[in-house]
Every structure is written in structure tokens, then in C-alpha cells.
Amino acid sequence: MRKLAQIRARNLLQRNPQLWRALQNYLRETESTGCGYIDYATLYSSIRSTKPTEVLECGTGVTTLIIAHALMENERETSKKGRVTSMEEHAGWLEMSQQLLPEQYQSYVSFELSNTVEDKYSLFRGVRYASLPNLPYDFVFVDGPKYVSPQDGGATFDFDYLHVLRNAANPVAALIDKRLSTVFVLQQLLGHTKVRYSSVTGLGSVSPCTKHDLGNIATSISSKNFAKSLRVIGSSRLAITENTATKAG
């Protein structure tokens, strides 16, 4: 199934000659190996369909070109110019990406170098970029940073979408590349209907959410938050749900 998805993704990209040429030229020069045609095609389609104006990219690379090209095509249709803030923790990688990005895409991209910090939300701890510009993002692509705690080296999750979301008054959608721990945490906080994961594509997707979708989980964890997953017969598979009684109060 994944091979079939790869063929479909490649065909979709090849049907766009300008994007395909730019992508192939970039791939010949870059050292990136983290993403593939499924990632590129899904990301391109997501940007084209949702038409965001402020995109946050966590992890600079080939996908920066994909996002910038989609934003350029969106501008041709809507006359509204979008921007991608591309975050990276490694100076050498950021410099290479800046040099390789074709000139026609430069005005759509703001490159940002940042170290990482650990952050916390309710029961969960994660890693995010420390110097994330405060912008009204409406789409987030998560492909970095490394989700290893700078405090103790423990495995965590990518916190950047959650960091954006907890302050977001307007809806923010997301695409998550092969980060199961990140998808898992977001499913616990936002629910399985809003956060989905495809084992075929290796991508997680988040429907547009705001800070209100987080409810009161962070401030009022109690046994009531697990009530919907408790079973009288058999072992309970616990999942966090919002304490609606507390929220209503």
C-alpha cells in the first residue's frame, strides 16, 4: 500500500512541471534524506487546499521549497501572499538550505535559527524551538526539532504545535511527519477525531484547532478526565478526556 501511495504521490508532483523541476534540482544538491514523495505531495496538497497565510515549518529542508512553491501558487489565485517561518536548530543545515532555495521562493520564506528548550503541558513534556516568532500561524508542519530532552536526554515529543495552539485564537491545522509520540500526545489532548495518523503514509494530520479545543485538561486533571475510558468488565485502556463538568462550572 505504501508503494502504491508513493507512485501516486510522485505522479501528482510530476503533473506540476515547474515544481517537479525545482524539486529535482534541489534533491540533487541537498543532503536531506528525511522525507519522500508522499511527504512532499501531501504537504503541497495541504497548503494548496487550506491556503494558509502564516505557515510554521519545524525543520528546514526540501519541504521548505514545497511549502514556498504552494504559497506562490496560492498567491497567483488569491492575490494574497503567504509566508513560511522555517525553524532550524543546526546552523550548517540552515545555511545550506538558504543557499539551495531557488531565488523565486526566497520572498516567501523567513529562516530562523534557534536552540531548543523543554516545555510542559499537563502530564506531558516536550521539546520546542526556544526563539519561535510570535505570529498568527494557521498551519504547522512538524519535521523537527529532535524530540530528546535537553534536560536529561529522555525521549519526549515535538511541542511546537502545542505551543502555538495554547495561544491561538484562530484555527491552526497541522501535518506531522513520522513522529508517533507527537501524534499520540496530541490525540490525548485533542481527541482521535481531530488528530489522525496514517500508517501507510507515516503522516499525522490535525484538523484546525484553537486553544479552546484543549479545554481544561492542563488545569484540572482528575479521575473524571479518564471516566469515558473506564470499563466495568476487563482491563480499562485509559485515555484523557476533557472534564466537561469542571469546564461548565
28-77 per-position pLDDT tens digit: 888 666 678 999 999 999 999 999 999 999 999 999 999 999 999 999 99
Q: Report how far Cα 218 is from the mean position of its chain's Cα atoms.
A: 21
Could you tell me the CATH superfamily of domain 2-214? Vaccinia Virus protein VP39 (3.40.50.150)
CA distance 163 to 128: 8
CA distance 9 to 47: 15
Give the model's pLDDT for residue 245.
Answer: 37
Q: What is the pLDDT of residues 206-219, one digit of tens each?
A: 999 999 998 767 66
Q: Given a cut of 90, is residue 148 above it in pLDDT?
A: no
Give the model's pLDDT for residue 154.
Answer: 84
Omega before 102 within 30 of 0, i.e. cis: no
CA distance 183 to 76: 33
Give the model's pLDDT for residue 39.
Answer: 93
Residue type, 213: D
Share of residues in the chain with pLDDT > 70 (%) = 93
Pick from 30-34, 100-104, 188-192: least confident: 30-34
pLDDT averaged over the chain? 90
Q: What is the mean pLDDT of residues 177-191?
A: 91
Q: Given a cut of 80, is residue 246 above it in pLDDT?
A: no
Nearest CA-CA partner of 22 in 109, 110, 102? 102
Q: Given a cut of 80, is residue 249 above it in pLDDT?
A: no
Q: Given a cut of 90, is residue 153 above it in pLDDT?
A: no
Nearest CA-CA partner of 39 in 1, 14, 6, 61? 6
Q: Determine contact, residues 211/165, Cβ cutoff 8 Å.
A: yes
Nearest CA-CA partner of 116 in 177, 160, 154, 84? 160
Give the model's pLDDT for residue 230.
Answer: 85
Q: Given a cut of 60, is residue 247 above it in pLDDT?
A: no
**3: DSSP letter:** H
CA distance 89 to 30: 17
Give the model's pLDDT for residue 241.
Answer: 73
Per-domain residue ranges of the chain: 2-214, 220-249
Q: Given a cut of 70, is residue 116 above it in pLDDT?
A: yes
Give the model's pLDDT for residue 221.
Answer: 76
Q: What is the mean pLDDT of residues 89-97?
A: 93
Q: Given a cut of 90, is residue 244 above it in pLDDT?
A: no
What is the Rg, in whole angstroms, of the alpha carbon atoms belonging to the chain?
Answer: 19
Q: How far apart are the first and last CA of the chain?
A: 48
Q: What is the mean pLDDT of residues 163-175?
A: 94
Q: Given a cut of 80, is residue 184 above it in pLDDT?
A: yes
Give the model's pLDDT for residue 31.
Answer: 65
Give the model's pLDDT for residue 210.
Answer: 93
Give the model's pLDDT for residue 32.
Answer: 62
